[in-house]
Structure 1
């Protein structure tokens, strides 16, 4: 996070807290947003209180000032830290941020994969260093409760976000999780409900082609991928990638959604995708993305706006780390 230290911080007690923040800035865990008018006060403070580190911290302030003058991606406003909030803010900034998901393994792998594809080096480093963690909600119905519990572990800064499948059957259906999104946003917690049915609907065909099925099943894999390629973006966005149509009746769609899906997916498609591609797809995507085999164009081919949505998801994480 970008952190704006009010000049009063350097005129009050709290030396150890300031040094803790400096260490976080030096390791680039957070970024110091420096007011040009405060440089002289900062230099004087460290010359008096930490003379052996004064050059290091003063240079850090000047470099931060130069860095923030360069054109950069749009970020949220810097976090303002006052002398009276210093202890609470240092405690929050020293803890890992929290990304609440339905399945920590699968959803975590998906997010890491898209960070590779969209060159989000800051997010990849934060994940490797443990500066944010994925928290499993234990199911979409529990995510509101888990998010609030995680929020309660922070004193001042809501360093929590969340990701949910939409579980929609068509583009016109309103996700039942939109209310969760709205309720948490009112509490200052930003999150994301996927536009497509599930995370697996974002797995590009190129990644699916790398599924390590035995040789005797490769023809079935190829046939299913060929069928997917023939679907419209809307059809592909709401098909069950993992299970195909084998569980269609158990979804208990509302009558109008069921009727719409009957029209959306002809009998031939239902036959060719009577079974899906199985589990472990996001882990496979992460593997393929980490080795440079997946590009943004592979996501772009899924439908208009897909890359923009995934970049927005990464921005949510960037805002809290």
Structure 2
């Protein structure tokens, strides 16, 4: 089994600790030699080998975790189950949010991330709603019927991450702050996107290429004229709507008590014509860019032109890749 893990190149073994463990001393003598030889087949990928699993016959079943050192201590009988488990990324919607991360990985030329997903080393866990992300992360470790004594809990914090939208409508707005804090109790890390949503990261050229009518193309031009801060907080799907209703005019929007004053101030400089074009957003189907096989990006081209987006998502994907 050890050699199978090594051949898969997901894990490597530190022989010193393993060879002196109670588990190895209870095995046939040739097992130690097998481990010693297997430990030489290490990965030289700079982004991985960041987490440590220690086999300890005295450890509680289900394991214990030290988050600061990214160390999980396991009873040997739990080792196979834990080491075989994928890194779970908890997201609001697996279909769209998972596709977003894979689409960006391809656009940024991070083929190793996609390979890890296809190999089953990375898995997206569907929370079914943004508010359910902390609950989904908790269930990973504690199950549905959690016990106060944690008798049946499993130390899966180092196997669980979360990614969610910011939903921020103006600079300093942080409506999901409590969700981040709740999820962080059960996750190795929680990444809240800097821009409002995954649709905020669709490159302008990609949006333009998916639309054809003159009116739609005019809307894209208006979107491109926004400042970077305005783009970061603009609701790509709904624009300035409240529910299904859009303000009748920019003047109505600026006087609306249903929009925060900071949001109204942020977009007060928009020309009336641009405001009108952007008032209703681009619709719920916009995220299909990430799921449509025909629109997957060409990694040989510079698809993500926004350097802040590229830097943020590249750092995120490398972090995820380094956690499994």
For normalisation by structure 1, the TM-score amounts to 0.74
Match of 2:109 in 1: 119
User: 2:100 & 2:164 partners in 1: Cα distance?
Assistant: 12
Is 1:34 aligned to residue 14 of structure 2? yes
- The 5-angstrom pairing of residues 103-252 of structure 1 reads 103-152=93-142, 155-158=154-157, 159-173=159-173, 175-211=174-210, 213=211, 217-247=212-242
Equivalent of residue 81 in structure 1, options 44, 50, 55 = 55
Out of 307, 312, 318, the residue aligned to residue 315 of structure 1 is 318
Q: Does 1:269 align with 2:243?
A: no
Partners of 2:87 and 2:123 within 8 A in 1 = yes
- Seen in structure 2, the aligned counterparts of structure 1 residues 230 and 40 have a Cα distance that, compared at 3 Å, is same
Shift of the 88–319 alpha-carbon distance from structure 1 to 2, 3 Å rule, reads: farther
Cα deviation, residue 121, structure 1: 2.6
Which secondary structure state, in structure 1, belongs to the residue aligned with residue 163 of structure 2? strand
Partners in 2 of 1:181 and 1:137 — Cα distance? 14
Question: Residues 210-245 of structure 1, C-alpha deviation per residue, up to 9 Å, x if partnerless?
Answer: 32x5xxx52223212211221111111111212333
Distance 1:168 1:226 in 2: 23
Paired with 1:245 and 1:259, the residues of 2 have a C-alpha distance of 10
Over residues 7-46 of structure 1, what are the superposed CA-to-partner deviations in whole Å (9 max), with x where a residue is unaligned?
xxxxxxxxxxxx2x43122122x220435797899xx999
Between stretches 31-40 and 148-157, larger displacement belongs to: 31-40
**Cα gap change, 1:243 to 1:188, in 2 (>3 Å):** closer
- My pick for the range that moved more, 136-145 or 185-194, is 185-194
**Matched position secondary structure for 1:32:** coil
Q: Is the 8 A contact 1:109 1:283 kept in 2?
A: no
Q: Secondary structure at the match of 2:191?
A: strand
CA contact (8 A) 1:107 1:282 kept: no
* Whole-angstrom CA distance in 1 between matches of 2:239 and 2:179: 28
Aligned-partner Cα distance in 2 for 1:264–1:316: 38
Per the alignment, do residues 103 and 252 of structure 1 end up closer, same or farther by CA in structure 2, a change over 3 Å counting? farther
Aligned to 2:39: 61
Higher helix share: 1
CA distance in 1, matches of 2:48, 2:116: 19
Corresponding residue SS for 1:88: helix
**Match for residue 5 of structure 1?**
none
Distance, in Å, in 1 between the alignment partners of 2:116 and 2:274 is 42
Q: Which moved more, 1:72-81 or 1:88-97?
A: 72-81
Q: SS of the residue aligned with 2:209?
A: coil
Note the C-alpha offset of 1:111. 0.6
Q: Distance in 1 between matches of 2:106 and 2:140?
A: 27
Distance 1:73 1:136, change over 3 A: closer
State the shift of 1:289 in Å. 6.8
Gaps of 5+ in 1: 1-18
Specify every segment of 5 or more residues in structure 2 that has no aligned partner in the other structure, as ranges.
59-74, 144-152, 248-252
Relative distance call for 1:97 and 1:27 in structure 2 (3 A) is same
